[in-house]
């Protein structure tokens, strides 16, 4: 089984990976998998599968109010297994701090290990809908660096409870980085110190939040190196090809959209012109990243394959 860090160290070919989101409860998983099919000709080495914290709902019956968790997007582990079987591509499940105690985290890691999954992206995760700040589970992790440390300990055969002759796991651990800082951090310098804690705890590579300005990524890498972060930093990209995305992406992901890209979308006369302009802009961004010598390209699909497919077609055509 291939680990992300092994690919980055030992393969000359640029690493290309995708990220998908599980379907909402009650939806068909085949819709998600069929969206991957057109992208398989670009030979992604890894496919990330996101995980979503449940939010609490309150039910009233006979005057009694009960509180229960409701998970909108279950199925991360099952989809990872389906990806391995259907596409013969290594899945990278996201594992979050939210909604997990340390014991539940350990159980999940054991399940993933038994499934032969070798890669994990360790995240704190966002607060669930309707909750202003992140609150960990009782005996859970408040910070992603604590989750990374637990995974690294398990890789050394150290479980929460002392066991006789325990087996060690062998997970490759990735983490998230924020070129424009995490929205909760006061500034980028402070955010980079948190990122270094994750690397020091055992993270072997970083995937960035989406960005739309090459300069932002370049300066982020330079600042990360300056504080001692030496692991590979893979740029994460989300094609922006519509007016609706100009409104939703900055507010949802706390990123800036360059004026040039906004102009291409807003001044387009049709949706198809906006789509084509956005794809051209993103393809030029990828070209700059490749010239800079990035270790890989990670594409957020959000379950929508048309824009990622158009972007990859443009990129691979340019590469010949």
Measured between alpha carbons, how far is residue 123 from residues 60, 106, 142, 268, 272 in Å? 34, 15, 10, 37, 36
Q: pLDDT digits over 55-73, tens only?
A: 655 555 666 656 555 666 7
Q: Specify the residue for token string 């389906």.
A: 82
Angstrom distance (rounded) from CA 267 to CA 312? 24
pLDDT digit string, tens, across residues 24-44: 888 888 888 888 999 999 999
Q: Which domain holds residue 90?
A: 4-319
pLDDT tens digits along 115-160:
999 999 999 988 877 777 888 888 999 999 999 999 999 999 999 9
Question: How, if at all, do strands 296-300 and 233-237 pair?
Answer: parallel
Residues 236-253: tens digit of each pLDDT: 999 999 999 999 999 999
Q: How confident is the model at residue 53 (pLDDT cuts 50, 70, 90)?
A: confident
Task: Report angle CA 98, 202, 140 to the nearest 5 degrees.
Answer: 25
Q: What does the H/E/C string look like for 77-140?
A: HHHHHHHHHHHCCEEEEEEECCCCEHHHHHHHHHHHHHCCCCEEEEECCCCCCCCCCCCCCCCE
Burial of 43 (0-12, 13-18, 19+ CB in 10 A): exposed
Rg (CA), the chain: 20
**How many structural domains is the chain composed of?**
1
Mean pLDDT of the region 158-167: 92
φ and ψ at residue 280, rounded to 5 degrees: -60, -45
What whole-number distance in Å separates Cα of residue 270 and Cα of residue 280?
16
Largest CA distance in the chain: 68
Q: For the domain that residue 185 is a member of, what is the CATH number?
A: 3.20.20.220
Closest by CA to 119, choosing from 48, 206, 167, 50, is 48
**Whole-angstrom distance, CA of residue 155 vs CA of residue 141:** 18
């Amino acid at each position: 089984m291939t680990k992300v860090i092994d690919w980055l160290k030992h393969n000359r070919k640029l690493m290309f990976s995708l990220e998908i989101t599980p379907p909402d409860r009650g939806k068909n998983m085949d819709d998600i998998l069929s969206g991957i099919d057109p992208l398989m000709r670009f030979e992604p080495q890894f496919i990330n599968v996101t995980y979503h914290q449940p939010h609490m709902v309150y039910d009233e019956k006979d005057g009694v109010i009960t509180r229960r968790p409701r998970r909108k997007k279950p199925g991360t582990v099952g989809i990872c297994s389906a990806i391995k079987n259907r596409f013969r591509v290594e899945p990278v499940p996201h594992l979050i701090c939210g909604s997990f105690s340390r014991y539940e985290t350990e159980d999940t890691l054991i399940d993933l290990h038994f499934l032969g999954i070798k890669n994990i992206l360790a995240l704190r995760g966002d607060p669930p809908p309707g909750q202003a700040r992140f609150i960990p589970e009782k005996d859970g992790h408040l910070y992603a660096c604590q989750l990374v440390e637990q995974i690294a300990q398990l890789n050394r055969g150290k479980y929460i409870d002392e066991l006789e002759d325990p087996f060690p796991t062998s997970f490759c651990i990735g983490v998230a980085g924020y070129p424009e800082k995490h929205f909760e951090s006061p500034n980028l310098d402070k955010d980079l110190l948190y990122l270094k804690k994750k690397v020091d705890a055992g993270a072997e590579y970083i995937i960035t939040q989406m960005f739309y300005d090459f300069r932002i990524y370049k300066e982020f890498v330079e600042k990360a190196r300056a504080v001692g972060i030496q692991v590979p930093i893979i740029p994460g990209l989300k094609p922006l090809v519509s007016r609706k995305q100009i409104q939703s992406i900055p507010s949802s992901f706390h990123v800036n959209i360059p004026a040039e890209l906004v102009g291409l979308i807003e001044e387009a006369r049709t949706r198809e012109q906006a789509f084509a302009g956005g794809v051209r802009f993103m393809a030029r961004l990828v070209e700059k990243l490749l010239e800079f010598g990035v270790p890989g390209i990670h594409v957020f699909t959000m379950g929508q394959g048309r824009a990622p497919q158009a972007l990859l077609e443009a990129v691979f055509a340019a590469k010949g």
